Every structure is written in structure tokens, then in C-alpha cells.
């Protein structure tokens, strides 16, 4: 008689086979796809930023033999099913019912999807969570745009298991996901929780993480505005930069000559994470360009390592990459080939530009920056003024004496 694990594996193979045999020629017209292949122009610039290194959970990379890890996935699936009284037929029915809607979420139709379990109890023999080096790589892979599965599928599978957990106070799936990615988001838990109250889900994991950075709703500007000044140029005009004290993680304000920007910790994983959010916004016409708009602003402010150093001094940027050039290169490369259809930072940019273009303030600030930057420079200026005044007086005295 076959064991329960063998029965589970046979059931999973059957589900995959049935889904594979039902590949539709076209998705239902009412479903708008929100999981795409990254555009070739993006991938050609940086293939590694969009490619999983460790594991694939969606169908777009399922043909990569180095990423499937089938035995490990089956092991986690077996653990998930074995610890719940839900019959295998319920799992089969759940996947079969969700299949047409799940397929419609992909711009590129594929033969199957495979889902792995979450929220399992700790085990001393766990091959992933007992290897610390694997956790950051796993987080990175699960945030890739091409490596996504619809969030409603995860929610339905979570619903089948949540009722049987030993902990009576079961959180939402979104809360568990955010807890796992908290180190990547670099946000305070209380800020994230406020977002979960009003926006408890996304179309997939990457969308959920993106939603943590923004308020529920904000209107884009009605006009196009090209911002042209770097941080050092604005600094020479007297603009001060300050780390934002508000609760909006990705917001910018300009008031009274001060440009408030969010605190940005930059790590090795940041570039890939940011690029995949941008790819998501660029590919899905029904998704706003909030994040793309912010990165475009940072690209305008940062043209060189000097701009990065200035923003580091004001605690706007927390550079964990080493050289400042790496940060400036990162932001400049992220904006190659992108289109910003919604500009959410026109107001602070216009105010900063108006401040810069105030000639008297600009010239005065340039004079102060050049000649009054230190006590010795100030003394030199005073001495030059006194010497000039004495020269004028001597000239006048000589003229009067002549007559």
C-alpha cells in the first residue's frame, strides 16, 4: 500500500499533468495580466537582476533545471499537507478551480504552475532555514518580477492550512509575508502595519512589498516637468537636504529652501529589488508609476559621487556598498530606457527649481560657498576689502594733493 507521501507526490504530478493538458490558446478577456517577462531592453542591460539564483516558484523559469529543486519542493508540500486534516481532494479541487484565473495573470501562457508551502513549523533538518546564507538569496529570488505566482492562489492555499494551526491567533498571509521580508524593506513594523490595515494584499508578492512603500492613494501631476538639477548644484544655490521625518517611506517635500527626502539604506540586494519593481510598473498599464517616478527623481539628483557624498552627509542615503560611485552608477543605470507616465514629485521639484533660479539668492549662495566656507577664507575676504578700500582712499588723496 503506498505511503501518504507517495500519494501526495502522485497527486501533485496528476495536478501538474492535468493543468499542462489544459493550456489555453488565450486568456479570459476580463483578466488583465500582471506577471510578465521583463522587457529585453531591460534584461540586456543587467540579466542577473531579473534572474533567480536559487529557486523558481512561478512558471516563467520552470524550464531551468538548476532552479526547479523539485524534491525539496515536494518535501515542503508533503510537510504542509501532512500537518493538516484537509483531504488531498480539497487541495486538488482548490488548484483546479483557481487554474483559469491564475493563467490569466500571466502575459505569457505556460503549461503549469507549482506552489510551495509557507509557515511550516521549525525542523532541525530543514535544508533552507537552517542555512543562514540561503535566506537572503531566497528572499531575493521571491521578489523577482518573473518569479511570481498570483497572490490569491497563495491566499487560498493558506486558507486550507490556517484553520488547523496550533496558534489560535492566526495572522493574515500578508503579515507573514511582510515579517519574512522585513529586513529587505528596511521599514519600521508600525509603518508597515498601517499599510496592511488598508491595503492587505497585492497581485503577487512583489506588488505586496511595493504597496508597503506608498499610501493608499495619491494623485499624479497633471503636467510634465523636467527636473534638471543635481544635489550639489542645488547645494551651491543654498538648498539644504534633510532626512524625512514623516511616515511615508517614499515621499519628497520642498519647503523654505529645504529638500526633504526619505532615508534610503542601500545594500547589495537593493538594485535588483528596485529594478524589478520598476519592471513591474513599466509592464502593467494599470499600475501607477509611483516607484519609477521616485527613482527618476533620485537619478536627477545624483549625477556623480559628489552628489552621493552630499546626501550621505545629510543621512538621506545610507551607503552599504562602499564607494560612492557604486551608488551613483546604480541610480543612473536604473533609469535607462524607462518611461514615467505619472509624475508624483512635480511639486517639490518645481519649488526646488524656482528656488535655484532666484538669481540673487543663487549668486549670494555661490559667494558664501566660495569665499565664506571657513574662518580663514572669511578673513581673506575682509583683508581684500580693506586693502581695496585703502587703495581707493590713497588714489583719491593723491588726486586731491595734485590739485
- pLDDT, one tens digit per residue, over 14-33 is 545 544 444 444 455 556 78
Shared-domain flag, residues 271 and 377: no
Shared-domain flag, residues 52 and 138: yes
C-beta of residue 335 within 8 angstroms of C-beta of residue 279? no
Q: Which residue has the higher pLDDT, 371 or 287?
A: 287
Give 384's pLDDT tier (boundaries 50, 70, 90): confident
Shared-domain flag, residues 258 and 381: no
Average of per-residue pLDDT across 83-94: 77
Average of per-residue pLDDT across 194-201: 55
Q: Which residue has the higher pLDDT, 15 or 261?
A: 261
Tell me, yes or no, whether 365 lies in a domain.
no
Highest mean pLDDT among 111-125, 198-212, 359-373: 198-212
Residue 231's pLDDT is 95
Shared-domain flag, residues 277 and 341: yes
Shared-domain flag, residues 138 and 267: no
> Residue 7, Cβ neighbours under 10 Å: how many?
14
Give 334's pLDDT tier (boundaries 50, 70, 90): very high
Tell me, yes or no, whether 29 lies in a domain.
yes
**Residue where a domain terminates, one of 211, 240, 266:** 211
Shared-domain flag, residues 391 and 302: no
Query: Does the structure show a pLDDT above 90 at 396?
Result: no
Domain count, the chain: 3
Query: Does the structure show a pLDDT above 50 at 111?
Result: no
Rounded to an integer, what distance in angstroms lies between the CA atom of residue 204 and that of residue 270? 19
Expressed as residue numbers, the domain containing 81 is 4-211
Q: Could you give the strand order of the β-sheet that contains 240-243, starting from the edge strand earlier in sequence?
A: 240-243, 258-261, 253-255
Q: Which residues contact 329 (CB under 8 A, 6 or more apart)?
A: none
Average model confidence (pLDDT) across the chain:
77
Q: Summarize pLDDT for 298-327 with one digit per residue, the tens.
A: 999 999 999 999 999 999 999 999 899 999
Shared-domain flag, residues 251 and 381: no
Average of per-residue pLDDT across 370-389: 75
Query: Does the structure show a pLDDT above 80 at 242?
Result: yes
Shared-domain flag, residues 195 and 69: yes
Shared-domain flag, residues 194 and 258: no
Amino acid at each position: 500500500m503506498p505511503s501518504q507521501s507517495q500519494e501526495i507526490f502522485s497527486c501533485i504530478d496528476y495536478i501538474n499533468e492535468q493543468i499542462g493538458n489544459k493550456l489555453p490558446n488565450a486568456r479570459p478577456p476580463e483578466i488583465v495580466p500582471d506577471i510578465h517577462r521583463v522587457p529585453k531592453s531591460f534584461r540586456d542591460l543587467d540579466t542577473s537582476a531579473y534572474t533567480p539564483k536559487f529557486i523558481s516558484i512561478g512558471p516563467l523559469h520552470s524550464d531551468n533545471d538548476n532552479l526547479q529543486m523539485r524534491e525539496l519542493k515536494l518535501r515542503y508540500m508533503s510537510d504542509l499537507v501532512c500537518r493538516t486534516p484537509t483531504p488531498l481532494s480539497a487541495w486538488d479541487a482548490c488548484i483546479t478551480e483557481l487554474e483559469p484565473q491564475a493563467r490569466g495573470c500571466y502575459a505569457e501562457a505556460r503549461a503549469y504552475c507549482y506552489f510551495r508551502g509557507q509557515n511550516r513549523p521549525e525542523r532541525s533538518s530543514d535544508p533552507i532555514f537552517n542555512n543562514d546564507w540561503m535566506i537572503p538569496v531566497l528572499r531575493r529570488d521571491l521578489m523577482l518580477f518573473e518569479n511570481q505566482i498570483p497572490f490569491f492562489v497563495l491566499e487560498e492555499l493558506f486558507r486550507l492550512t490556517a484553520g488547523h494551526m496550533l496558534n489560535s491567533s492566526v495572522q493574515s498571509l500578508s503579515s507573514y509575508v511582510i515579517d519574512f521580508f522585513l529586513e529587505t524593506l528596511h521599514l519600521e513594523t508600525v509603518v508597515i502595519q498601517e499599510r496592511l490595515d488598508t491595503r492587505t494584499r497585492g497581485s503577487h508578492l512583489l506588488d505586496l512589498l511595493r504597496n508597503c512603500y506608498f499610501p493608499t492613494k495619491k494623485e499624479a501631476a497633471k503636467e510634465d516637468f523636467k527636473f534638471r538639477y543635481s544635489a550639489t548644484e542645488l547645494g551651491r544655490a543654498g538648498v539644504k537636504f534633510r532626512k524625512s521625518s514623516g511616515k511615508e517611506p517614499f515621499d519628497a517635500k520642498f519647503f523654505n529652501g529645504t529638500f526633504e527626502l526619505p532615508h534610503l539604506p542601500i545594500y547589495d540586494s537593493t538594485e535588483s529589488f528596485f529594478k524589478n519593481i520598476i519592471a513591474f510598473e513599466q509592464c502593467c498599464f494599470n499600475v501607477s508609476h509611483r516607484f519609477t517616478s521616485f527613482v527618476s527623481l533620485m537619478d536627477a539628483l545624483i549625477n556623480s559621487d559628489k552628489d552621493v557624498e552630499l546626501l550621505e552627509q545629510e543621512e538621506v542615503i545610507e551607503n552599504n556598498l562602499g564607494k560612492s560611485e557604486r551608488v551613483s552608477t546604480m541610480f543612473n543605470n536604473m533609469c535607462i530606457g524607462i518611461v514615467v507616465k505619472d509624475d508624483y514629485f512635480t511639486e517639490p521639484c518645481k519649488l526646488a527649481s524656482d528656488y535655484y533660479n532666484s538669481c540673487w539668492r543663487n549668486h549670494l549662495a555661490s559667494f558664501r560657498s566660495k569665499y565664506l566656507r571657513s574662518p580663514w577664507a572669511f578673513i581673506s575676504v575682509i583683508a581684500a576689502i580693506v586693502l581695496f578700500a585703502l587703495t581707493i582712499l590713497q588714489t583719491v588723496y593723491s588726486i586731491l594733493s595734485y590739485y
